[in-house]
């Protein structure tokens, strides 16, 4: 199996302003007489998409933590395994990390299919996953997983809500592509919007290709009078879609996307478009240089990583697991870490919409707020300075 691996070792107490709790460890605190604390991530780095920004940020966090002392004298080894979007490789990667590397937890993972393939194995192995980017629908039902953000399905509902309630779109249309078991989750997100608003989608089309000609879909949206179009396309597809809309001379539609469109690449590629483009983000907008983003921005700047929304997820996952480990009084074992996650109190971080709680896993501590940015002349502008709270369905 070919994989991308990165091993990082940590030292003792804490520094660099990365964490608040590890520097104030208990009198005894976490111990590691049996060797370094093992952590890992199964992520899609090569293959259909590149989600590596999340685990790379997790790796950078640990590297800088190591340079300033680590967690109460304990060393940590962190490994990223590339599943390449392949279920067999994902299975092998998880078993190598759990059975051979003896990880005490997964952290910062960002995969198209890791949850669907491995969540049951993690549960049986008592290995919990603080995911940096939870993509597969099973991430939101499995008790062994708890991501650090609302996730793409709630974000889909929220962006439809933004289109209808904040942009006042009367004919909201959705064109989505489906991978693996996504269909039910995406359809559920659309249904949740209808239940919250009491409105109906003007078009729901679940046949959008991951790659291919988008012209027929845009012509359908134009001819049907859609005044807002939502799609779950990722960065290349978003650029293609908007360029196609420009080539077809389509106007009068608000284009609404998920966090995968909130990148410098999209901003640069679409700098000249006049199309109204809105993107939702699950964390504090990364283009803001404010106090909420300071810890993350300091980290990625020092690591020479490109700032991105997904790197915020990797950073937050690393920060959460380190805070949890710092609160353990005694040996840092798989059982100790899992118990600490299960019994943790909700904890708030300024970069996130709400407090994080692992609890029973999956949706136990789910956040229901997002922020929205708009692309204008190649620059991202925040249009919801306050968190947009998604109401519960009536």
Residue 227 has pLDDT above 60, yes or no: yes
Return the pLDDT at 21: 40
Average pLDDT for the chain: 91
Residue 274 has pLDDT above 60, yes or no: yes
Tens digit of pLDDT for each residue in 134-185? 989 999 999 999 999 989 999 999 999 999 999 999 999 999 998 878 899 9
Q: Are 96 and 107 in contact (CB under 8 A)?
A: no
Return the pLDDT at 365: 63
Tens digit of pLDDT for each residue in 358-392? 998 876 666 889 999 999 999 999 999 999 999 98
Determine the longest span between alpha carbons in the chain, in angstroms: 69
Residue 3 has pLDDT above 70, yes or no: no
Q: What stretches of 191-346 adopt beta strand conformation (E)?
A: 203-205, 228-231, 254-257, 277-281, 330-331
Return the pLDDT at 321: 97
Return the pLDDT at 364: 67
Average pLDDT value for residue range 19-25: 40
Burial of 394 by CB count in 10 Å (0-12 exposed, 13-18 middle, 19+ buried)?
exposed
**Banded pLDDT at 234 (limits 50, 70, 90):** confident
d(CA 319, CA 373): 25
Map out the domains of the chain with their CATH numbers.
Answer: 22-151+289-363 (3.40.50.2300), 152-281+370-389 (3.40.50.2300)
Residue 245 has pLDDT above 70, yes or no: yes
Tens digit of pLDDT for each residue in 26-57? 448 999 998 999 999 999 999 888 899 999 99
Return the pLDDT at 68: 87
Of the given ranges (26-35, 199-208, 218-227, 304-313), which has the lowest mean pLDDT? 26-35
d(CA 44, CA 56): 12
Tens digit of pLDDT for each residue in 318-353? 999 999 999 999 999 999 999 999 999 999 999 998
d(CA 141, CA 119): 10
Tens digit of pLDDT for each residue in 86-136? 999 999 999 999 999 999 999 999 999 999 999 999 999 999 999 999 989
The residue assigned the tokens 């070919």 is: 2
Ramachandran category for residue 35: left, alpha or beta (phi over 0 → left; psi -120 to 50 → alpha): left
DSSP 5: -
Q: Are 133 and 109 in contact (CB under 8 A)?
A: yes
- CA neighbor of 82 nearest in space, from 129, 116, 105, 48: 48
d(CA 89, CA 258): 27
Residue 393 has pLDDT above 90, yes or no: no
Return the pLDDT at 23: 40
Return the pLDDT at 179: 81
Average pLDDT value for residue range 239-266: 96
């Amino acid at each position: 199996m070919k994989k991308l691996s990165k091993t990082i070792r940590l030292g003792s107490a804490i520094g660099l302003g990365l964490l608040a709790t590890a520097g104030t460890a208990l009198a005894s605190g976490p111990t590691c007489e049996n060797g370094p604390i093992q952590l890992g991530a199964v992520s899609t780095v090569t293959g259909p998409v590149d989600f590596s920004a999340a685990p790379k940020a997790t790796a950078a966090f640990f590297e800088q933590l190591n340079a300033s002392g680590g967690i109460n004298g304990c060393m940590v080894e962190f490994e990223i395994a590339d599943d390449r979007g392949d279920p067999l490789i994902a299975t092998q990667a998880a078993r190598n990390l759990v059975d051979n590397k003896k990880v005490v937890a997964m952290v910062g993972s960002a995969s198209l299919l890791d949850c669907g393939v491995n969540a049951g194995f993690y549960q049986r192995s008592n290995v919990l996953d603080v995911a940096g980017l939870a993509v597969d629908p099973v991430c939101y039902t499995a008790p062994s997983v708890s991501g650090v953000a609302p996730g793409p399905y709630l974000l889909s509902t929220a962006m439809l809500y933004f289109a209808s309630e904040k942009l006042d779109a009367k004919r909201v249309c959705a064109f989505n592509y489906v991978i693996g078991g996504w269909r039910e989750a995406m359809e559920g997100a659309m249904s949740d919007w209808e239940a919250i608003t009491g409105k109906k989608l003007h078009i729901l089309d679940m046949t959008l290709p991951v790659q291919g000609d988008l012209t027929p879909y845009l012509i359908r949206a134009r001819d049907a009078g859609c005044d807002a179009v939502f799609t779950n396309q990722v960065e290349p597809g978003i650029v293609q879609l908007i360029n196609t809309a420009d080539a077809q001379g389509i106007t009068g539609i608000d284009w609404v996307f998920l966090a995968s469109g909130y990148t410098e690449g999209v901003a640069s590629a679409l700098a000249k478009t006049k199309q109204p483009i809105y993107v939702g983000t699950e964390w504090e907008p990364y283009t803001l240089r404010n106090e909420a983003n300071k810890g993350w921005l300091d980290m990625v700047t020092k690591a020479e990583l490109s700032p991105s929304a997904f790197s915020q997820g990797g950073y937050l996952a690393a920060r959460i697991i380190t805070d949890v480990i710092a609160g353990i009084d005694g040996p840092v074992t798989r059982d100790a870490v899992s118990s600490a996650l299960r019994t943790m109190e909700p904890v708030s971080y300024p970069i996130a919409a709400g407090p994080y709680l692992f609890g029973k896993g999956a949706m136990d501590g789910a956040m229901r707020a997002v922020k929205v940015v708009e692309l204008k002349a190649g620059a991202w502008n925040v249009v919801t300075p306050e968190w947009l709270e998604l109401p519960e369905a009536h």
